[in-house]
Amino acid sequence: MIGKKLLITAALAILTACSDNVFSPSESTGAGSGSSMFPAQPAASPVPVTGNPIMGARLWVDPASNARLTADSWRATRPEDAAYMDKIASHPQARWFGGWSADIRRDVNAAVSTVTSAGAVPVLVAYNIPQRDCGQLSAGGATIDGYAAWISEFANGLAGRKAVVILEPDALAQLNCLSARDQETRINLIQYAVQLLRAQGGLVYLDGGHASWRSASDQASRLVRANVAAADGFVLNVSNFQYTSTSIAYGKSISSRIGGKHFLIDTSRNGLGPAPDNAWCNPSGRALGSAPSTATGDEVVDAYLWIKAPGESDGACGIAPAAGIWWPDYALGLAQRSAL
């Protein structure tokens, strides 16, 4: 049994007690017997809300992305389709890390080294939280102790270099699928991750779900509970399809409840907004959204990013491949319907 909580500030405890639709923390932070505590740390210091920490940053385009390789393979025989695929290949995308990384410190270090040597700022996604995706199409994740070690090595891979880190998509919005004890363990792991990543140069954004999932007040309470004060902000619409304007309004409503924290928006597939039934698993008729940029024209929106790689499957629904697998036909449709 985990025997000791991470320290949480009094203000956080008060705000947590006021949260709606989220279980309050239990007296134990454990998630079952046989687990040792991840190293206890003092509560991370708040990050002041100032300007955009990535304003003007160059974002890196992967010359060997799936979209680039597909476009090149089509160029001679399918030139029109190759040109559409170039719409994806020519734009920067985030790099995701999870349990598939054999050596997470090495892999993060290699990615950061490649991007920073090109004069750009890396955008990385940490996606390995225990009980990930509530056992659904992106199920997986580490054990509790495994995650503590994994995120520590992830942070060490940054080695003090500036990088945007999107921390655990869906983890807070999906809290309700967990027991009260497991909720608290997840919260503590996220708090721990923020501390380690910030200490190694990470610009950390906690996942804030999307506008059609939780109310702004509910999502704000979840972010407060995870100590968003110690992060650089939060991120919206990861792997979803909500219009940018909808996400801006939703994000500002959350921001106003958590001290004016800034946020990012995933615009990778929101060019035509959500599907009529708000389907999330490879819905038909969607399109690429606005190009990634740190020049958003809004003082609380730090960047539009392509966090979900356009063309990677959301999961094995219908004829789709498993989550994260490159699906050229879907990518082509996104590009064909895009205004880019």
Which tens digits make up the pLDDT trace of 115-143? 999 999 999 999 999 999 898 888 889 99
pLDDT at 15 over 70: no
Residue linked to tokens 């090595």: 153
Q: Which of 124, 63, 117 shows the shortest CA–CA distance to 96?
A: 124
All residues at 6 or more sequence positions from 104 whose CB lies less than 8 Å from its CB, including other chains: 97, 150, 153, 154, 157
CB atoms inside a 10 Å sphere around CB 79? 10
- Determine the Cα–Cα distance for residues 302 and 120; give it in Å rounded to an integer: 16
Range from 7-11, 44-48, 165-169 carrying the lowest mean pLDDT: 7-11
- Say if residue 14's pLDDT is above 60: no
- The pLDDT assigned to 22 comes to 38
How large is the average pLDDT for residues 4-12? 33
- Average pLDDT in the 139-160 region? 96
Cα 95 from Cα 238, distance rounded (Å): 13
First to last CA, the chain: 53
* Contact assessment for residue 84 and residue 336, using Cβ atoms and an 8 Å cutoff: yes
- The answer to whether residue 238 scores a pLDDT higher than 90 is yes
Residue found under tokens 């219908």: 318
What predicted TM-score, i.e. pTM, was given to this entire model? 0.89
Residue 19 has pLDDT above 50, yes or no: no
Which numeric CATH code is attached to 52-60+92-325?
3.20.20.40
For residue 42, what pLDDT band results from cuts at 50, 70 and 90? low
pLDDT at 20: 36
Three-state secondary-structure class, residue 234: strand
User: Is the pLDDT assigned to residue 215 strictly greater than 50?
Assistant: yes
Least confidently predicted of 27-31, 211-215, 270-274, 321-325: 27-31
Task: Give SS3 for 293.
Answer: strand
**133 catalytic per annotation:** yes
Query: Which segment of 17-21, 245-249, 336-340 scores lowest on mean pLDDT?
Result: 17-21
Instruction: Give the three-state DSSP class for 312.
Output: strand
Helices (H), the chain: 10-17, 66-74, 79-89, 104-117, 144-158, 180-199, 216-225, 244-255, 328-336
Q: Is the confidence at residue 3, as pLDDT, over 70? A: no
Domains of the chain by residue range: 52-60+92-325
Q: Is 170 a catalytic residue?
A: yes
Assess whether pLDDT exceeds 80 at residue 83.
Answer: yes
13 pLDDT tier (thresholds 50, 70, 90): very low
| Whether residue 61 has pLDDT greater than 90 | yes
Q: Is 314 a catalytic residue?
A: yes
Residue 208, pLDDT > 60, answer yes
pLDDT of residue 12: 34
What pLDDT score does 40 carry? Answer: 52
Residue 41: predicted pLDDT: 56
Q: What is the CA radius of gyration of the chain?
A: 19
Q: Which of 86, 170, 218, 232 is catalytic?
A: 170
Spot the catalytic one: 133, 182, 232, 302.
133
Tokens coding 263: 């946020």
160: alpha, beta or left, given left = phi > 0 and alpha = psi -120 to 50?
left
Q: What is the mean pLDDT of the chain?
A: 89
